[in-house]
């Protein structure tokens, strides 16, 4: 198969998979009332995780060896 057809096949496959994921998500979102609340809880967890990682990275020492000697 020529190279350009392989690339077209990859794009087509990616489009089909993305469409299937979007359809499945829409169906789950519309049929399950708990899915909506779980989505909000997950969003809040991601926001909290992002705040913690920013704080943890800001407090790390510049030299990794100082952390080992302090313990």
> What tens digit of pLDDT does each residue of 23-71 get?
998 998 888 878 777 878 888 887 887 776 665 555 555 665 655 554 4
CA distance to 42, 48, 62, 66, per residue, from 53 (Å) = 16, 9, 16, 20
Return the SS3 of 1: coil
Q: CA dihedral in degrees (13, 15, 21, 26; nearest 10)? A: -150
71/55 Cα distance (integer angstroms):
20
Predicted TM-score of the model (pTM): 0.47
Helix or strand (DSSP H, E) at 61: none
pLDDT number for residue 29: 82
């Amino acid at each position: 198969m020529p190279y350009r057809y392989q690339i077209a096949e990859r794009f087509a496959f990616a489009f089909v998979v993305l469409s299937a994921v979007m359809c499945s998500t829409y169906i789950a979102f519309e049929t399950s009332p708990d899915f909506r609340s779980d989505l909000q809880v997950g969003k809040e967890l991601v926001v909290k995780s992002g705040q913690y990682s920013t704080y943890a990275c800001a407090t790390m020492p510049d030299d990794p060896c100082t952390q080992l000697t302090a313990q």
